[in-house]
Amino acid sequence: MDYGWYLLTLFGIYGTVAVSLVLVVGDLGLLTVGQAAVFGTGAYVAALVQVHVHLPFEISLFAGACGGAFVMLILALVASRLSRDRFVFATVAFQVGFSALAQNLTGITGGARGLLGVPGLSLLGHRLEPGRAVALAALCLLAASLVLVSALRRGPYAHALHCVRDAELFARSVGLRPLWYRALPMALAGGITGAAGGMFAGVLMFVDPSPYRLSESCLLLAMVALGAGRSLPLALCGTVLVFGIPETLRFLGVPGTMVGNVRQIIGASILALASFVFFHLAGTERQRSQT
């Protein structure tokens, strides 16, 4: 039963990251392979605030969100200077840099052994017991992020965003500034991912570099690729596929090392299929309409 609650907690946290990625990949049209680093930034900032400054969990969650938002704002600045292909490589570089920092700044991050002694989740001074309470907290975070992102994806602001995504030159000609229109959604996505990272650190009660590597970034991207990065329900289905199916394999007696490989294979297959079916078709459709 406890394991079921733990799986639900993971769904809440990774679902939150998927929702924020929909904003970046779907609405801004920016493919990022550095989302695990933003997730990790939130986790490390929240853990450091709790361990070294001894602030309560709520404030550490806010600090993690601010850390994620700050990182994504920098990426928004980089995106304004690069073509979309090159932006992907900039995010890869950012991801590799983050991993190197997390691994090697042993005095701050604890290096490969990680940062131990992170207090668990609490609310207004009351500790949330692992299990149902923590799972509910993760699902609340997911619901809040869904509300925020859905609100941003409606109305004239969303139309302006899509205009910047699909026809940047036209957007400039009608007075829309791409950097401004990218900065807010990127900061919001970073904040949501950072908050999810902060919660992840609280759930595990320690932070180490392994969940924030490049391969994890690819898995996060695979979660949203199922809906071509644009559909929130399909992003949540992708989360279940990428993280749910491999976890159920543990019940069937598959060794833990193989489960990691299976998870990566499922993620890569979804990414391959989705890139072929959705992104290829979407690109061809756009080329046709431009012609």
Partner 1 sequence: VKFILIQLLVEGARFSVLGMAVALSLSVSRHLDLTLGVPALIGAYLVASARGTPDPAHLIVAAAITGLAGILVGASLFRHDGSERFSGTARLLLSLSLLLLFENVISLFVGDEALLAPDLPARFQNGIFGLSERRATVFAVAAVAWLVTAGLVRYSSLGRHLRAVRSDPVLALAVGLPVRRTSVLAFGLAFLLAGLGGVLTYMDTAITPGFAFPYLLMAIVAAVVGGSSSITGAIAGAFVVSGLRSLATWHLGAEWSDSTAFFVLVAVALASNRHGRIRTQVISWLRPAWLRAGTGTR
Q: Looking at 55, 78, 183, 240, which residue binds partner 1 (CB under 8 A)?
A: 78
CA end-to-end distance (rounded Å), the chain: 57
Size of the site for partner 1 (CB under 8 A): 49
| Smallest separation (angstroms) from partner 1 to the CB of 84 | 7
Binding-site string for partner 1 from residue 126 to residue 165, where x marks contact by CB under 8 A and - marks none: ----------------------------------------
Residue positions counted in the chain: 291
- What is the b/e burial string over 124-138, where b = at least 16 CB atoms within 10 angstroms of the residue's CB? eeeebebeebbbebb
Q: Could you tell me if 24 and 189 are in contact, meaning their C-beta atoms sit under 8 angstroms apart? A: yes
Q: Looking at 55, 59, 88, 176, which residue binds partner 1 (CB under 8 A)?
A: 88
Q: Could you tell me if 91 and 204 are in contact, meaning their C-beta atoms sit under 8 angstroms apart? A: no
Check binding of 275 to partner 1 (CB under 8 A). Answer: yes
Check binding of 269 to partner 1 (CB under 8 A). Answer: yes
Check binding of 90 to partner 1 (CB under 8 A). Answer: yes
Check binding of 33 to partner 1 (CB under 8 A). Answer: yes
Q: Could you tell me if 176 and 80 are in contact, meaning their C-beta atoms sit under 8 angstroms apart? A: no
**Strand blocks (E) in the chain:** 122-123, 126-127
Q: Could you tell me if 219 and 242 are in contact, meaning their C-beta atoms sit under 8 angstroms apart? A: yes
- CA-to-CA distance for 185 and 67, rounded, in angstroms? 15
Stretch that binds partner 1, among 46-54, 186-194, 243-251, 267-275 (CB under 8 A): 267-275
Binding-site string for partner 1 from residue 209 to residue 248, where x marks contact by CB under 8 A and - marks none: -----xx--x--xx--x-----------------------
Stretch that binds partner 1, among 53-61, 115-123, 152-160, 276-284 (CB under 8 A): 276-284
